[in-house]
């Protein structure tokens, strides 16, 4: 029920933000909120969406979310036939572009087939699809297919330059899902290789990850298509050794008692000493004041500290006259950011849920694994590569002094494995260059020369169904542990299982 309330609230906020939204239904066609009315209600444990005008009406049961972005939502819904289908809710400008996108994807698939056959004489493209397949997690954003060349069989996968940068960036996860599917069919026809096609200059972002992907007996080739879709060129090679990442100085968690600036805090926060969390943000030179992981005040690291308060993006400067307002904020946080919140769709309950989980893990890292050392725990470690900013959820160390990367999720995410691999790659790169020692991490500790270990932490039934199919392509030397936690982790964090993958 709680998840339905949260989803209902998210949808209502989306609709309030897009009063001219367009809704496209598989059976009743297109609806515009400018001339339609909409209702979201929870009845008998089901979330129901109703649309109506003076002439027609529609009722759908919402069974899940396929995609969610700032301007677009794809819901999975059921009607009286109980068959699950998609329902699109788009900002008006997104809805207008959706038919053009479908046409562009079909055109891309046709051009890609021609380009591949020109590039590889004798290649016969059997099929190249851009349709969705929810059961197999195949996305319409990518073209996928199979080709034959002499006695060999190849998988094909490509992304159109008209797709968003985020879609291009996510390509490798979906390509590995397709590769895993094709290999599962290998009893009937062996797979020899895989060809990936990305827009020009996009390969540089994919090759570092591809350098770590292992698929014995399968040759994977990455090509770039020019803007006119007239030529294919081999993407430039760039392995993880050329990452050129920058590591920020260490943030201290927990802070030594003598370094916590209690005297500089406003009176209402001094009284809350046992409840709030204070993190020293070395890179930004301030102390972050949090409640269940949600930052609501900041204290600058200066001779005369300055205090600001408010939950992002709202922020106000503090002085004594603002004490009643800060105290009111603190009382609201205590009321709503708690496991037994009286209003589970309140923003203070929902905001930054993964930070809430992080705050529980930080209390005792040994809940994740008894092998982790609670004396060395670093949350939200920033590492920069050009304009790209990666933030590692938690960095720790095992009792044998091996680095440990811990990635947290609270919901299904196809990108979890590749995202975690990116963070692991950065940690390994910085470790090999001695950056952790230079930036103040792990003082007086001699780190093991072995590769870092990786922990993936998520509610037990929220790991995406494709997770292990993607993880099978990771380096065999990379030790990965899936940690399934309980759904009610806000009340008490419990580990239901640990599985070495």
Q: Residue 374 maps to which CATH number?
A: 3.40.1350.10
Of 352, 366, 403, 362, residue with least CA distance to 253: 362
When pLDDT is averaged across residues 252-260 and rounded to a whole number, the result is 70
| Residues 114, 223 within the same domain | yes
Distance CA 264, CA 268 (A): 12
**Band of the pLDDT at 125, cuts 50, 70, 90?**
very high
Q: Is residue 425 part of a domain?
A: yes
Position 124 scores a pLDDT of 92
Q: Among 301, 326, 346, where does a domain finish?
A: 346
Position 386 scores a pLDDT of 46
| Residues 101, 207 within the same domain | yes
452 or 438, higher pLDDT: 452
Position 31 scores a pLDDT of 87
Mean residue pLDDT across the chain: 86
Question: What SS3 string covers 480-499?
Answer: EEEEEECCCCCCCCCEEEEE
| Residues 233, 262 within the same domain | no
| Residues 281, 327 within the same domain | yes
| Residues 411, 325 within the same domain | no
Q: Among 211, 238, 265, where does a domain finish?
A: 238
- Kind and range of the H or E run holding 123: strand 123-129
Q: Is residue 249 part of a domain?
A: no
pLDDT higher than threshold 90 for residue 408? yes
Position 387 scores a pLDDT of 42
The pTM assigned to this predicted structure is 0.78
Position 388 scores a pLDDT of 53
pLDDT digits (tens, 9 = 90+) for 130-187: 888 878 888 888 999 999 988 889 999 999 988 878 888 889 999 999 999 998 886 6
Q: Is residue 179 part of a domain?
A: yes
| Residues 77, 146 within the same domain | no
When pLDDT is averaged across residues 420-433 and rounded to a whole number, the result is 91
| Residues 153, 197 within the same domain | yes
- In the Cβ-directed half-sphere of 395, how many Cα atoms lie within 13 Å? 26
When pLDDT is averaged across residues 222-235 and rounded to a whole number, the result is 87
Q: Is residue 477 part of a domain?
A: yes
Q: Among 90, 108, 129, where does a domain finish?
A: 90
Position 241 scores a pLDDT of 42
pLDDT higher than threshold 90 for residue 258? no
- Domain that includes residue 8, residue range: 2-90
**Band of the pLDDT at 240, cuts 50, 70, 90?**
very low
Q: Is residue 412 part of a domain?
A: yes
494 or 349, higher pLDDT: 494
| Residues 76, 141 within the same domain | no
Q: Is residue 243 part of a domain?
A: no
464 or 92, higher pLDDT: 464
| Residues 186, 112 within the same domain | yes
Give the pairing of strands 403-408 and 453-459: parallel
**Band of the pLDDT at 480, cuts 50, 70, 90?**
very high
Position 336 scores a pLDDT of 93
| Residues 148, 191 within the same domain | yes
When pLDDT is averaged across residues 189-199 and rounded to a whole number, the result is 89
Q: Is residue 251 part of a domain?
A: no
Q: Is residue 232 part of a domain?
A: yes
**Band of the pLDDT at 395, cuts 50, 70, 90?**
very high
| Residues 64, 105 within the same domain | no
Position 345 scores a pLDDT of 78
- CATH number, domain of 210, equals 3.40.1350
Q: Quote the number of domains for the chain.
A: 4
Place of tokens 């004489």: 121
pLDDT digits (tens, 9 = 90+) for 294-345: 999 999 888 888 999 888 767 888 888 889 999 999 999 999 999 999 988 7
| Residues 74, 209 within the same domain | no
Of 353, 350, 352, 440, residue with least CA distance to 395: 440
Distance CA 77, CA 87 (A): 7
């Amino acid at each position: 029920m709680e998840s339905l309330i949260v989803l209902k609230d998210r949808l209502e906020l989306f609709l309030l933000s897009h009063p001219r939204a367009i809704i496209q239904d598989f059976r009743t066609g297109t609806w515009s909120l400018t001339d339609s009315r909409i209702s979201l209600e929870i009845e008998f444990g089901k979330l129901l969406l109703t649309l109506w005008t003076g002439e027609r009406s529609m009722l759908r049961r919402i069974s899940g979310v396929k995609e969610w972005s700032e301007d677009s939502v794809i819901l999975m819904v059921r009607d009286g036939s109980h068959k699950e289908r998609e329902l699109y809710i788009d900002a008006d400008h997104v809805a207008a572009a959706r038919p053009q996108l479908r046409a562009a994807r079909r055109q891309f698939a046709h051009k890609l087939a021609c380009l591949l056959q020109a590039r590889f004489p004798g290649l016969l493209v059997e099929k190249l699809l851009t349709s969705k397949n929810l059961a197999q997690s195949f996305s319409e954003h990518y073209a996928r297919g199979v080709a034959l060349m002499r006695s060999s069989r190849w998988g094909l996968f490509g992304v159109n330059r008209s797709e968003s940068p985020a879609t291009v960036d996510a390509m490798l996860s979906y390509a590995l899902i397709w590769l895993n599917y094709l290999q599962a069919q290998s009893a009937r026809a062996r797979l020899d290789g895989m060809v990936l096609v990305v827009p020009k200059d996009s390969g540089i972002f994919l090759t570092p990850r591809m350098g770590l992907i292992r698929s014995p007996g399968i040759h994977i080739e990455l090509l770039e298509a020019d803007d006119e879709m007239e030529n294919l060129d081999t993407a430039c090679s760039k392995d993880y050794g050329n990452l050129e990442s920058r590591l920020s100085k260490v943030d201290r968690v927990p802070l030594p008692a003598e370094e916590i600036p209690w005297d500089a805090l406003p009176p209402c926060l001094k009284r809350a000493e046992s409840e709030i969390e204070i993190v020293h943000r070395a890179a930004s030179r301030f102390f972050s004041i949090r409640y269940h992981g949600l930052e609501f005040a900041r204290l600058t690291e200066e001779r005369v500290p300055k205090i600001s308060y408010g939950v992002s993006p709202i922020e106000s400067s503090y002085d004594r006259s603002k004490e009643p307002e800060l105290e009111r904020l603190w009382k609201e946080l205590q009321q709503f950011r708690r496991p037994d919140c009286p209003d589970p769709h309140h923003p203070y309950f929902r905001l930054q849920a993964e930070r809430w989980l992080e705050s529980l893990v930080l209390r005792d890292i040994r809940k994740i694994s008894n092998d982790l050392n609670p004396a060395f725990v670093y949350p939200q470690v920033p590492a920069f590569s050009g304009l790209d900013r990666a933030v590692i959820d938690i960095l720790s160390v095992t009792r044998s002094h091996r680095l440990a990367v811990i990635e947290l999720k609270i919901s299904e995410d196809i990108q979890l494995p590749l995202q975690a691999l990116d963070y692991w790659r950065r940690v390994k790169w910085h470790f090999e260059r001695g950056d952790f020692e230079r930036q103040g991490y792990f003082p007086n500790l001699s780190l093991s020369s072995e590769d870092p270990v990786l922990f993936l932490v998520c509610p037990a039934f929220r790991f995406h169904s494709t997770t292990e199919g993607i993880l099978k392509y990771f380096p065999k030397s990379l030790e990965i542990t899936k940690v399934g936690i309980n759904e009610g982790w806000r009340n008490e964090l419990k580990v239901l299982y640990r599985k070495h993958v």
